[in-house]
């Protein structure tokens, strides 16, 4: 039951993280130069890529455990 709850909240957590990142980027965009904005966008993209990679690993591990057990 616990695993079922975890897997159903993953999309919600991804959405929340993406919303937070976009909100932060919006605030930064209003207060920074173009150069700083590009750097911030790159950092956000890199962070999002890392988060998706971690999520993919978690799902892979979960599926592997379910297949074994």
Does the pLDDT at position 4 exceed 50?
A: no
Dist. CA 27–CA 37, nearest whole Å: 10
- Report pLDDT for 55: 87
Domain boundary assignment for the chain: 2-68
Does the pLDDT at position 5 exceed 50?
A: no
Of residues 53 and 8, more confidence is placed in 53
CB 7 within 8 A of CB 66: no
CB 43 within 8 A of CB 24: no
Tens-digit pLDDT profile for residues 19-63: 777 777 676 666 668 888 788 889 888 988 888 888 888 888 888
- Report pLDDT for 33: 80
Q: What is the mean pLDDT of residues 10-21?
A: 72
């Amino acid at each position: 039951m616990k695993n079922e709850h975890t897997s159903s909240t993953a999309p919600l957590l991804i959405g929340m993280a993406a919303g937070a990142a976009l909100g932060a980027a919006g605030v930064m965009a209003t207060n920074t130069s173009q150069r700083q904005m590009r750097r911030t966008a790159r950092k956000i993209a890199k962070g999002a890529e890392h988060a998706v990679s971690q999520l993919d690993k978690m799902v892979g591990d979960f599926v592997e455990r379910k297949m074994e057990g």
